[in-house]
Amino acid sequence: MTAASTPNRLTLNTEKPSGRQSRFGFPVHDGADYVGHLSRPEPSLLHYLHATRCLAANPDAAALWVASLDPETLALLGRAIMRRLS
């Protein structure tokens, strides 16, 4: 699976040199590249963001993940997708 073989370089910057917090939250970087903000300083979320990004980037991995869902969760996912599309 891609998430297991791709190194997670996401970091959360909770310390700013100026000491002021951005109104957007805490900056997230992938190595030297800025990728966004988290509203809360929760570094444990970075592992989930990395796995989600890898699944979204690899359609085969995403298909395997969807195929592994139980029928109830699959129905919930289907309804959520349909709400987004309509």
pLDDT at position 61, please? Answer: 81
Report which of 60, 29, 22 is spatially closest to residue 43, judged by C-alpha positions: 29
Instruction: Give the pLDDT confidence of 13-50 residue by residue, as tens digits.
Output: 877 665 566 788 889 999 999 998 988 888 899 998 88
- Asked whether 46 and 58 are in contact (CB, 8 A), the reply is no
pTM of the model: 0.61
Task: Give the Cα separation of 75 and 54 in Å (integer).
Answer: 23
The number of domains in the chain is: 1
Range of the domain at 24: 2-85
Q: Could you give the CA distance from residue 16 to residue 24 in angstroms, rounded to a whole number?
A: 13
Q: Give the CA radius of gyration of the chain.
A: 16
Tokens of 74: 């699959």
